[in-house]
Amino acid sequence: MNEPSGDIKSMTLYHHVDRVVNELRELGKPNDEPLRVGELTPFDQLHYHSTEAVDEAIRATGIGEGSSVLEIGSGLGGPSRYLAATSGAAVTALELQEDHHRMAVDLTRRCGLVDRVTHVCGDFLTHPWDGEEFDAVVSWLALYHIPQRAILLDRCRSLLPVGGFLYAEDLCERRPFDDDEREELASELFANYLPSSDRYRQDLADAGFEVLVCDDMSDDWTAFTRGRLDQYRQQQDRHLRVHGEEVFETMCGFYTTMVRRFSDGKLGGIRVVARRI
């Protein structure tokens, strides 16, 4: 999986960025009212365990007031806003999809965080950084979308000082996929790089990182995605009222796919903390 196959919008999670507009209406803030970071977290964190996972990154990397942080694949900007608001760090939030980027910019402005979160729209593999450096590079469920891991890690390395941290939560291969499954995952999840956890570590070592933590999140995320689907279905009436049928069906379908993929024991999850040597 070295070249991206297809289009990221083949992943249905990314179809309805207007979910956010519906949630803001439900919050009673449909126009340009100021927002608080905390009231967005139920719907702006597109990974597992919401802000707890961001707290984990802050703890593991020592990010704090005055730190500079890059988030790769920042989605709606939820983790970056929470990280900046909680730790006082300056965060650059890089996102590929323009609709998500635009929504993130607006939410950050309404949260009063423009001085601490800078949104950038681009592809991490090609974005020109012009010599910029960060104390930490962080990412939640985005790196598996990106092909060419050697280039990705080389770019991460060049953005960090010696001793700088890379924190990633990501998907990986727990047991080998066959060719058909890889093709399905390339479409359903826009999965372009799903190595085993051993390969994941080796790639980091080859790129000049010392791996400090490499946790297998597979069982945890299997349980999490099951709970998420159950909860979403239990709140069917609420979601139909707020979002309508198309969004409800799309989200149910996506959450079901994740449960099926994790439950068959082949798709896995990984959390790594590494330091540039």
250 interacts with ligand SAM by CB under 6 A: no
73 interacts with ligand SAM by CB under 6 A: yes
Shortest distance (Å) from residue 33 CB to ligand SAM: 22
79 interacts with ligand SAM by CB under 6 A: yes
Shortest distance (Å) from residue 76 CB to ligand SAM: 6
Taking the C-alpha atoms of residue 23 and residue 40, their distance in angstroms, rounded to an integer, is 9
**Counting beta carbons within 10 angstroms of the beta carbon of residue 220, is it exposed (0 to 12), middle (13 to 18) or buried (19 or more)?**
middle
Shortest distance (Å) from residue 237 CB to ligand SAM: 26
261 interacts with ligand SAM by CB under 6 A: no
Which range touches ligand SAM (CB under 6 A), out of 91-99, 201-209, 214-222, 239-247? 91-99
- Residue spans of alpha helices (H) in the chain: 19-26, 37-44, 50-61, 78-87, 98-110, 149-158, 179-188, 197-206, 218-234, 236-243, 245-263
Which range touches ligand SAM (CB under 6 A), out of 107-115, 120-128, 197-205, 241-249? 120-128
Residues with Cβ within 8 Å of residue 246, at least 6 apart in sequence: 16
141 interacts with ligand SAM by CB under 6 A: yes
- C-beta closer to ligand SAM: residue 32 or 90: 90
Which range touches ligand SAM (CB under 6 A), out of 119-127, 154-162, 239-247, 267-275? 119-127
Q: What single DSSP character describes residue 47?
A: S
CA distance readout (Å), 110 to 16, 34, 41, 113, 261: 21, 5, 14, 8, 37
CA 144 centroid distance within chain: 10
Choosing from 37, 94, 117, 186, the residue that interacts with ligand SAM (CB under 6 A) is 94
Choosing from 100, 116, 155, 157, the residue that interacts with ligand SAM (CB under 6 A) is 100
Q: Which residues of 4-18 are buried (b: 16+ CB within 10 A; e: fewer)?
A: bbeeeeebbbbbbbe
Give one DSSP letter per residue of 191-226, joined into a string.
Answer: -----BHHHHHHHHHHTTEEEEEEEE-HHHHHHHHH
257 interacts with ligand SAM by CB under 6 A: no
Which range touches ligand SAM (CB under 6 A), out of 35-43, 118-126, 156-164, 268-276? 118-126
47 interacts with ligand SAM by CB under 6 A: yes
Report the interface residues with ligand SAM, using CB under 6 A. Answer: 8, 45-47, 72-75, 78-79, 94-97, 100, 123-125, 140-142, 145-146
